[in-house]
Structure 1
Amino acid sequence: MSRMPTYFISHGGGPWPWIPNMRRMFAKLETSLAAMPDHLPEVPKAVLMVSGHWEEAAFAVMSSANPPMVYDYSGFPPETYEIQYPAPGAPELARRTLDLIKAADLPATLSPAQGFDHGVFAPMAVMYPDADMPTYQVSLQHGYDPAAHFALGRALAPLRDEGVLIVGSGLSYHNLRLMGPEARVPSTEFDTWLNKVLTLPEKDRTRALLNWEQAPSARIAHKEEDHLVPLFVALGAAEGEQATVTYHEEGIFGGVTATSFRFG
């Protein structure tokens, strides 16, 4: 079985694939997501998503065979609260994942009730529109400790050799209070730093990201780092492997620069 790469994707906004004007705005993102399955070494056994929209006190692993939907957004058309993405879960892989996390001495539990949030079902609906790819999630941990999330990624790394595609789903810029033209400078500054850091040698790259708050415009780009931390997991699972930009766009949301990356 071939080793899977890992990804960090900037996943767009809300239920954008179901909203025509947003879908047009994210046409370039849609193209990059739709192309992801064709750039894998083989068809995955499952997709494991780490979304910026689910966090718990301890790392939690979605274990339902048929995960429900979580409409974790507001202000969108009524029909977007009826979206269904009926991909199967992966209960056996969930238990395997739990064992790996616990073996790394990280706190973890199974979550049989958790459903797909929009950081998962929106990009997956583009990547696998037939909803036929087993999909499950691992939560973030409260506090967003970078080292803990790198450790989570390292713990998950063996899954890459078992046919599991690991995807961190967030946004390289996420400050909902500063969008539009005012976001142009801080998002560009932080994005430029991020792209530069990801080309550094392994130890330097990890060290820089552990200290990400020292980056230009860091706390403007991420007032809360829930949408950045999935990057640490994806990178921890592919530490030392080459980073490649899979999506880069300037001017979304009226001024935001955003990037997605592949590792390995």
Structure 2
Amino acid sequence: MTLPALFVPHGGGPCFFMDPAGGPPEPMWRPMQAYLAGLIDSLPERPRAILIVSGHWETSVPTVQTGDRPGLLFDYYGFPEHTYHLRWDAPGAPAVARRAATLLRAAGHEIAEDASRDWDHGVFVPMKVAVPDADIPVAQLSLRADLDPAAHIAIGRALAPLRDEGVLIVGSGMSFHNLRARGPAVTPVAAQWDAALTAAVTDPDPARRTARVAGWETLPHARFAHPEAEHLLPLMVALGAGGDGPAVCDYRDTVLGWVVSGYRFG
């Protein structure tokens, strides 16, 4: 059975785990938490592994993480002390990482491997919600540092066979990510951006969809929504991996004044 490819929001820092007693997050974050918590049950079958692309790892060439037991990289700042002692002990998936590298090389991409890389919070924060028992192996793939949209869509296309091999491909980022713009005054502009992005992502014509999303900078308020593009580029990988199948928006909410969406491909 073919699994979909997903683009999911990963929240802000350790937003789902701010209570040292393990209680629920602030009300603002609860709809996103519920969406992430339901991801695995929403799939046609439970994945044997997850390949995730986070907005928090950029390298000169795409790099696969091949470690057996990655630790957690607490690459956020200014949060409560207990959030730097979180645990999520899922195994790595080095065989899946190397299979991804083989597919990418066959498609003409230069690929590197990194056995020492730990999971950044774009991986372990959403996955700790989605897979709380840490019982699905995970491999990570970096973004290309040039953040070229078409190149990342092509990377996703090369990875598409993994979907028929029991591997869930996940892009982890945020559909709106401007840390300097927060609060209710931002929401109308964020909503216009989100509507334009969603229209492009869900275009029923696959070729037109690809062209519109690759040209994201032409959409209304694009560079306001993403002064830097690293949190949007995981969407390109998920879209490419989804191929010509349907594309839907399966999550939409407002946090920090931002309108934020998640997407499902295939």
Counterpart among 115, 126, 129 of residue 126 in structure 1: 129
Q: What residue in structure 2 maps to residue 202 of structure 1?
A: 206
What is the one-letter code of the residue matched to 1:4? L
User: What is the alpha-carbon distance in structure 2 between the residues aligned to residue 258 and residue 150 of structure 1?
Assistant: 21
Aligned-partner Cα distance in 1 for 2:243–2:135: 30
Are residues 1:9 and 2:12 paired?
no
Whether 1:235 aligns to 2:239 is: yes
The normalised TM-score by structure 1 is 0.96
Could you tell me whether the CA contact under 8 Å between 2:248 and 2:263 is conserved in 1? Answer: yes
Paired residue secondary structure (1:184):
helix
- Residue 59 of structure 1 contacts residue 141 of structure 1 at CA under 8 Å; is this kept in 2? yes
What pairs up with 1:184-263 in 2 under 5 angstroms? Answer: 184-200=187-203, 201-250=205-254, 252-253=255-256, 255-263=257-265
Aligned equivalents of 1:198 and 1:59: distance in 2? 23
Amino acid at match of 1:206: T
Matching residue of 1:111: 114
Report if the CA contact (8 A) 1:36-1:127 is conserved.
Answer: yes
CA distance in 2, matches of 1:153, 1:173: 21
**Residue number among 162, 165, 185 corresponding to 1:162 in the alignment:** 165
Distance (whole Å) between structure 2 residues aligned to residue 97 and residue 211 of structure 1: 26
Report the counterpart of residue 43 of structure 1 in structure 2.
46
CA contact (8 A) 1:246 1:262 kept: yes
Distance 2:113 2:36 in 1: 28
> Across the two proteins, how many residue pairs are aligned to each other?
261
| Shift, 1:22, TM fit | 4.3
Q: Give the whole-Å Cα distance in 2 for the aligned partners of 1:91 and 1:123.
A: 20
Q: Which segments of structure 1 move beyond 6 Å, counting only runs of 4 or more?
A: none
Code of the residue aligned with 1:228 in structure 2: it is L
Report the RMSD for the aligned CA atoms in angstroms.
1.1
1:84 equivalent among 78, 87, 95: 87
> What secondary structure, in the 3-state scheme, does the structure 1 residue paired with 2:82 have?
helix
Question: What SS class does the counterpart of residue 102 from structure 1 fall into?
Answer: helix
Equivalent pair of 1:28/1:247 in contact (CA under 8 Å): no
Mapped partners of 2:227, 2:55: distance in 1:
13
2:99 corresponds to: 96
Distance (whole Å) between structure 2 residues aligned to residue 4 and residue 24 of structure 1 = 31
Counterpart contact for 2:58–2:143, Cα < 8 Å? yes
CA contact (8 A) 2:51 2:97 kept: no
Instruction: Please say if 1:137 is aligned against 2:136.
Output: no
Amino acid at match of 1:110: E
Identity of aligned residues (%): 45
Aligned to 1:183: 186
Displacement of 1:197? 1.2
Structure 2 unaligned regions, length at least 5: none
Once the two structures are TM-superposed, the CA of residue 199 in structure 1 deviates from its matched residue by 2.6
Q: Secondary structure at the match of 1:85?
A: coil
For residues 86 and 246 of structure 1, what CA distance do their matches in structure 2 show?
28
Per-residue deviation at 1:23?
A: 4.2
Deviates more, 1:219-228 or 1:95-104: 95-104
Provide the secondary structure at the position in 2 that maps to 1:168.
Answer: strand
Contact 2:66 2:113 in 1 (8 A): yes
1:32: how far off?
1.0
2:17 aligned residue: 18
* CA offset digits 1:92-134 (Å, max 9, x no partner): 1111111111111112111101111111111111111011110
Tell me, what secondary structure is at the counterpart of 2:147? Answer: coil
